[in-house]
Structure 1
Amino acid sequence: MPPPLLIKIGGAAITNKSAVETIDHDRFQALIRFVAAQHHRSTSIRWPSNVSGSPFPQPSSLLLVHGAGSFGHHIAKEHGLKGTNSYAVVAEEQPRQLDTALRLGMAATRTSVRKLNGLIVEELVRHGVPAIGITPGLLVKSSRGQIHELKRLYAAVHETLRQGMVPVLHGDVVADDAYGAVVWSGDDIVKELALFDPDQIPPRCCFVTDVEGVFERYPLADGEIPCVVSRIRVDRSSGEIVEPAALAVGNGSEAVAGPRADVTGGMRNKMQAAIDMVRGGVQCVQIVGHPTIVNDAGAAWESLRGTRIEAAI
């Protein structure tokens, strides 16, 4: 039986981020077909003992998380909302109360990203996928930019899977006891879901982004064709990248940041999430670009060109 598969769709892969709440229809439809193809390939999965004996004969083994793209990001910036990673770096950030203005910002941001969530769920159902939207920010707490108390979220996801449905979560905004509210990224949500139950079969994860994978060099010179790293191996104990040598620049927090290898900030966050997941037992993480999927939306995720991150042997 296959292990669970987590798919993270970057907001930039399905929306036009230069225009508020605008779908890129060709990419969107291709990625819907891609997710549907992965669902239809999936079979029953053995879940932990607390859900064994389920009256539902075929639990789902597919989870989907998507980013906001042009749905939510513009509004979040207008209201000064920052990601959880931002607060971890800016220790001197001034406390902020969850006042009326910030509540309105939270409401507007969540309303926008839930529009995208609804569009994705609706289209997946049309393609034969029993998708159910879940808003994660209502099921967790945040303190000084650190998300905690995730049991209700895990329970909601677990029950959805137990019933044979496909949970579809989205990046969200969470009330914070120090900063009023913070943005919880889809990348971080995927990491939490991948590592939430050590008793389950270790999952696999596929990130769909707006680039083809991790580049050996970034930024690129004028006219330079990017060279995509096909495989990255990580030491599970230290989190260090051990292969390829061009990316082995130190521990996980400094991955792909040396003078010989650099990536965009967004890819840096995905790389750190991937390293954390591999260290936690995830079998592998595949980073693929939307052009690859547009060209072959029906392909199995592991066969697509991109960057595969896994534990070093």
Structure 2
Amino acid sequence: MAAMADLIILKLGGSVITDKAGNGGVDYARINELAREIAERKNIFPIIVHGAGSCGHPEAKEHHIHMGLDANNKAGIFITHRAVCGLNDAVVNALRASGVESVGIHPLDACTAKNGRLISFQCGQIELLVRHGIVPVLHGDVVMDEDKGVCIVSGDQLISYLASHIRAKRIGLATDVAGLLQNGSVVRRITPESVKNLDISSSGSVDVTGGMKGKIDELLLLSEKGIESNIFHVSRVGDFLDGRDHGGTVVAER
């Protein structure tokens, strides 16, 4: 069994496993490459969370799911959830083909939100899966919301919630950039104090969850609880998993 002290949360950004500016294009080659990276590390059983990219964001925007539920957009729950589940299947299938026992966990089935923020998520099954050497694969999803009827919960918010409720050793976000960039250079460290001097914009492509700004906002919430996070280019996943310098950004309390 894997020790919980070794638990790692790895987020695969939607922009690195799909053509985020396109229409549902899954990057199977990249997903297979990432699955092989994880499979090579026989003693690491991460919790994997992936974004929706072009498999979910366009559907959510078209049906205004991020604005809540009304009489006209109920079908958007199924349509958006189906899109993100298809991507989740692709990630799980690639991991299993590489020899990694894994299973998809769908937030729509397990979570409840209130005004866009998660308020309940039974994490016990995730801890048990990891303890038995099985990799849980979660994803950004449609979630029922007590106030809005429905909302979108990003992969970044899932990370924030999970890391607050499960003792994770390390948290890493693999993206299509080397970290948070300012004037072409990577900002190596961000704290709640230093972020005030940074210009962080939202994603330029279709994104109903806030892009890089959404990531930093969630990770700063974790930093206030003393939990460090890492943002790095997807090509450095192996470095992160092995505990080496990934050349990216660390978000920390100080």
Deviation (angstroms), 1:308: 1.9
Partner of 2:247: 305
Unaligned runs of 5+ in 2: 203-210
Deviation (angstroms), 1:291: 4.4
| Structure 2 counterpart SS, 1:280 | coil
| Structure 1 counterpart SS, 2:42 | helix
- Provide TM-score, normalisation by structure 1: 0.70
Deviation (angstroms), 1:298: 9.6
Corresponding letter in the other structure for 2:212: M
Partner of 2:219: 274
Partner of 1:177: 146
Unaligned runs of 5+ in 1: 43-59, 88-94, 218-225, 235-239, 242-247, 249-254
Partner of 2:134: 165
Corresponding letter in the other structure for 1:205: I
Q: 1:310 to 1:298 in 2, by over 3 A?
A: closer
Q: Whole-Å Cα distance in 2 between the matches of residues 40 and 106 of structure 1?
A: 37
Q: Whole-Å Cα distance in 1 between the matches of residues 146 and 240 of structure 2?
A: 44
Deviation (angstroms), 1:63: 0.4
Whether 1:206 and 2:177 are equivalent positions in the alignment is no
Maintained 8 Å contact 1:231/1:307: yes
Whether 1:65 and 2:45 are equivalent positions in the alignment is no
Deviation (angstroms), 1:80: 0.5
Q: Whole-Å Cα distance in 1 between the matches of residues 179 and 141 of structure 2?
A: 25
Q: Whole-Å Cα distance in 1 between the matches of residues 250 and 42 of structure 2?
A: 23
Q: Whole-Å Cα distance in 2 between the matches of residues 29 and 170 of structure 1?
A: 17
RMSD: 2.4
Deviation (angstroms), 1:155: 2.2
- Pick the aligned partner of 1:230 from 177, 180, 188: 188
Partner of 1:285: 229
Q: Whole-Å Cα distance in 2 between the matches of residues 9 and 264 of structure 1?
A: 20
Which protein is bigger by CA-based radius of gyration?
1
Deviation (angstroms), 1:183: 0.4
Q: Whole-Å Cα distance in 2 between the matches of residues 11 and 36 of structure 1?
A: 21
Q: Deviations over 1:15-72 (max 9, x none)?
A: 11232221224433332233334x4242xxxxxxxxxxxxxxxxx4x10000000111
Partner of 1:75: 59
Q: 1:203 to 1:299 in 2, by over 3 A?
A: closer
Whether 1:262 and 2:199 are equivalent positions in the alignment is yes
Tell me which stretches of 4 or more aligned residues in structure 1 moved more than 3 Å.
Answer: 296-299
Partner of 1:127: 98
Q: Whole-Å Cα distance in 2 between the matches of residues 4 and 155 of structure 1?
A: 14
- Provide TM-score, normalisation by structure 2: 0.85
Q: What is the count of residue pairs matched by the alignment?
A: 243
